[in-house]
Each structure stands twice: as C-alpha cells, then as structure tokens.
Amino acid sequence: MVKLQSWDTLQVVDHGDHVLQVILNRPEVGNAMNTRMGQELLDLMTRLTEKPKGVRSVVLTGAGSKTFCAGGDLKERSGMTRTQWIHQHEIFERVCWAMVDLPVPLIGAVNGHAYGGGLELALVCDFIYASNRAQFALPEVTLGIMPGMGGTQNLSRAVGERRAKELILTGVSFTAQQALDWGLLNQVLDPEHLLDAALKTAQTISRNAPLSVRQIKKAIRFGGQMELRTAYRFEIEAYNQLIDTEDRKEGILAFNEKRSPSFRGQ
C-alpha cells in the first residue's frame, strides 16, 4: 500500500484488501478545507496516481457524524488579498483535477452535510454513497462568489442543466433523498451503515482485475466527452490494451478451473 504518514488535516486508514480510506479531519470546523488540507490532498492524490503501491480503491469521507465538508474555510479566507486568494484557489483546483484523474476508483462516503467546496469534492468522486441525514448545497452565490471547483459543470452533468441552474442560482440546500432522486447519489443509507457499504463496494472493486478497472474508468470518463462513434473506437483501444496482460490470462484460466482469480495488476 501507499506509504502512510502523519497528516495535519487528513487521516488515512489502510483497510487491507487494497482499500484506502481518506478522512477529511478537521471536525472542529466542519472539515472545512483550508490551504493546508488542499496541499495535503493534492500531495496524497498525486502519490496515489504516480505510485499507488497496491491501492486499488479509495473511499473519501469526513471526520465525525455531522459534516462531510463545509467547503472552504472562510475564517482563513477573511482578509486575504486577491493574490493570496487566487494562490489558494489554484491549489483547490489542482486537488479536484488530481481526484478526477486518479486512475483507481474514488468512492465518496458523504457522512454529513456537504456544502460549497464540500459538495464539489463529492462531485469529483466516481460515485457517491451518502447518509440519509446529509444535506447538500452550492451556496456560493449568497456569498458574492460562485462554484469554482467544477461545481457548475459536474452538478449539471449529474442532475441536468435546469435542475443545476435552479440549485446554484438560488443556493438552497437539498436532502440526500432529493439528491438520490435526481441522480446525484448512488445510495442513501443509515449513518451507521454508510462506511461499511462504501468499503464493501471498494473491496468488491479491488478484487477485480486492476488494469481492467483503470481502463474502464478511463473509457467512461473520456468516452463521455466524445461523439458516440469516436467513443466506441476509444473503448476498443482501451479493450485491446488488456488482451496481452497476465491478469486477462489469469481471469480466463480461473473461470475454466472454476476458482476465484488472483489478479496482480500485470
């Protein structure tokens, strides 16, 4: 697994089975993202991209039971100059790109409220499970700013343009059940079952062929931005990369021998 270290704003837990849990760990301020958290998230996501060292799935959640992430730390931002603000936001933007580009699946386990940048962090996960007590909002318009970590783009792609305009232009909050009904979430669970469900899914993914998982994630992400016939061709190119792998041979052999495959990512 990736080498663990002491973080100021994150807690990283190795659950075995190639699954890593990343916890936003500033519960005293609703896990709000300050500059340090942005730097640490960027560092961690970069490490997991460059040298995953056995990590095949990542679960992202927040410390405590009330808040996933309250967004940007407005107390830290109070009094910032334009230069300081832009510098900090550049870090936050890079965090979101690093999360989007993460080659292994990233599952959001939204354990509480996800507002502003907190919802934007959830939106860059590959899919999201949430507590039935969670609330969501992109309230930036009420603060004289707007979403700047992909919120206007990712929310509209998740729930549709008209719904996204309504939510972002009003800044109103919505419930986990509404988010599920609109297609933003995959599952809504009781708080005590949320993490177990997310970890179980991560473990299921991690038992599958890791090279296949990476190619599938790539095909869905990039193919969705292409004209359909071009996307079909892109899918086939991704498929062809797997034919000569040891994992493909192991998968077919295990099937014929009626046993579980042992994938090594080769």
Catalytic residues: 120, 140
Backbone angles phi, psi at 110, to 5 degrees: -85, 100
The angle formed by the CA atoms of residues 176, 179 and 180, to the nearest 5 degrees, is: 90
Name the nearest CA neighbour of 117 among 169, 168, 70: 70
Name the nearest CA neighbour of 105 among 193, 196, 218: 218
Cβ–Cβ < 8 Å for 151, 123: yes
**Cα 71 to Cα 61: distance, rounded to the nearest angstrom:** 13
Residue 140: other Cβ atoms inside 10 A: 21
Residue 68: other Cβ atoms inside 10 A: 30
DSSP 3: P
